[in-house]
Amino acid sequence: MLTKRTKLIIGSCLLVGILLCILGCIGAKMMTKTSENSSERLPRRSVNITIDTSQRQEFFDQLQKFADKHDFTITIDTRSSGNEDFLIAMYRKDVKIYGDNAFVLGEYAFGFYDVYRQPPAPDSVLDDLVNDLKSFISEVPSATFSVEK
pLDDT at 38: 45
For the ranges 28-42, 60-74, 90-104, the one whose mean pLDDT is highest: 60-74
pLDDT at 41: 81
Q: Are residues 96 and 136 in the same domain?
A: yes
Q: Are residues 28 and 54 in the same domain?
A: no
Q: Are residues 143 and 79 in the same domain?
A: yes
- Inform me whether the pLDDT recorded for 70 exceeds 90: yes
* Count of structural domains, the chain: 2
The arrangement of strands across the sheet holding 45-50 comes to 73-79, 82-91, 95-100, 107-114, 45-50, 144-148
Q: Tell me 44's DSSP state.
A: S
Where residue 117 sits, what CATH number does that domain have? 3.30.160.110
Q: Are residues 4 and 50 in the same domain?
A: no
Alpha carbon distance 105, 114 (integer Å): 27
Containing structural domain, residue 27: 1-36
The predicted model scores a pTM of 0.71
- Give the 3-state secondary structure of residue 87: strand
Higher pLDDT pick, 147 / 78: 147
Q: Are residues 30 and 49 in the same domain?
A: no
Higher pLDDT pick, 5 / 66: 66
**pLDDT tens digits along 123-139:** 999 999 999 999 999 99
Average pLDDT over the chain, rounded to whole? 82
Contact criterion met (CB below 8 Å) for 98 and 39: yes
How confident is the model over 100-104, as a mean pLDDT? 86
Q: Are residues 32 and 59 in the same domain?
A: no
- Give the 3-state secondary structure of residue 69: helix
Q: Are residues 83 and 110 in the same domain?
A: yes
Q: Are residues 31 and 53 in the same domain?
A: no
Q: Are residues 76 and 127 in the same domain?
A: yes
Q: Tell me 38's DSSP state.
A: -
Contact criterion met (CB below 8 Å) for 89 and 72: no
